[in-house]
Chains A and B, each alone.
Chain A
Amino acid sequence: EDALLPTPQNISILSTNMKHFLSWSPVIVQGETVRYSVEFQGEYERDYANESWIPICECSLITATVCNITEDISATVAYNLRVRADVGTRRSEWGTMKGFFNRITTSLTPPLMKVIADGYHLLVELEDMGPAFQFCVLYWKKGQESRVQQKVVKEVSSVVHLDTMEAGPDYCVKAQTYVEAINRSSSFSQTQCVRAQGGTSMWL
Chain B
Amino acid sequence: TAGNRIFHFGHCRVSMSMTEIRLGFTAIKANIQARDPIRTLSILSHPHSLHKVKSSDGCCITHHLFNFYVDKVFKHCKTEDSFINRKISSIANSFLSMKRKLRQCHEQNKCMCEEESTEKFKQILANYEGLNVTSAAIKSLGELDILLDWME
Chain A residues with CB under 8 Å of chain B are 40, 42-45, 47-50, 54-57, 71-72, 74-77, 79, 131-134, 154-155, 179-181, 183
Q: Across the interface, do B94 and A74 meet the contact criterion of CB distance under 8 Å?
A: yes
Q: Across the interface, do A76 and B75 meet the contact criterion of CB distance under 8 Å?
A: no
Q: Across the interface, do A56 and B89 meet the contact criterion of CB distance under 8 Å?
A: no
Contact of B1 among A44, A79, A180 (CB under 8 A): A180
Residues of A within 8 A of B85 (CB): 54
Residues of A within 8 A of B94 (CB): 74-75
Q: Does B17 contact A (CB under 8 A)?
A: yes
A75/B96 contact (C-beta < 8 A), A45-B89, A54-B89, A131-B2 known:
yes
Residues of A within 8 A of B95 (CB): 44
Question: Interface size on B (CB < 8 Å)?
Answer: 25
How far is it, in angstroms, between the C-alpha of A72 and the C-alpha of B27 when the chains are bound?
13
Q: Does B37 contact A (CB under 8 A)?
A: no
Chain B residues with CB under 8 Å of chain A are 1-4, 15, 17, 19-20, 24, 70-71, 74-75, 82-83, 85-86, 89-90, 92-97
* Shortest distance from the beta carbon of B82 to any chain A beta carbon, whole Å: 5
Identify whether the interface residues of B are mostly helix, strand, loop, or mixed.
Answer: helix
Q: Across the interface, do A44 and B82 meet the contact criterion of CB distance under 8 Å?
A: no
Of all chain A residues, the one with the shortest Cβ separation from B90 is: A74
Contact of A134 among B1, B19, B93 (CB under 8 A): B1
A132/B75 contact (C-beta < 8 A), A44-B89, A71-B86 known:
no
Q: Across the interface, do B97 and A77 meet the contact criterion of CB distance under 8 Å?
A: yes
Of all chain B residues, the one with the shortest Cβ separation from A178 is: B1
Residue picked from A47, A49, A132, most chain B C-beta under 10 Å: A49
A49/B86 contact (C-beta < 8 A), A43-B93, A44-B92, A75-B93 known:
no
How far is it, in angstroms, between the C-alpha of A181 and the C-alpha of B2 when the chains are bound?
6
A181/B20 contact (C-beta < 8 A), A44-B74, A54-B86 known:
yes
A75/B71 contact (C-beta < 8 A), A44-B92, A54-B85 known:
no
How far is it, in angstroms, between the C-alpha of A183 and the C-alpha of B97 when the chains are bound?
13
Residues of B within 8 A of A43 (CB): 93, 96
* Shortest distance from the beta carbon of A139 to any chain B beta carbon, whole Å: 21
How far is it, in angstroms, between the C-alpha of A43 and the C-alpha of B95 when the chains are bound?
11
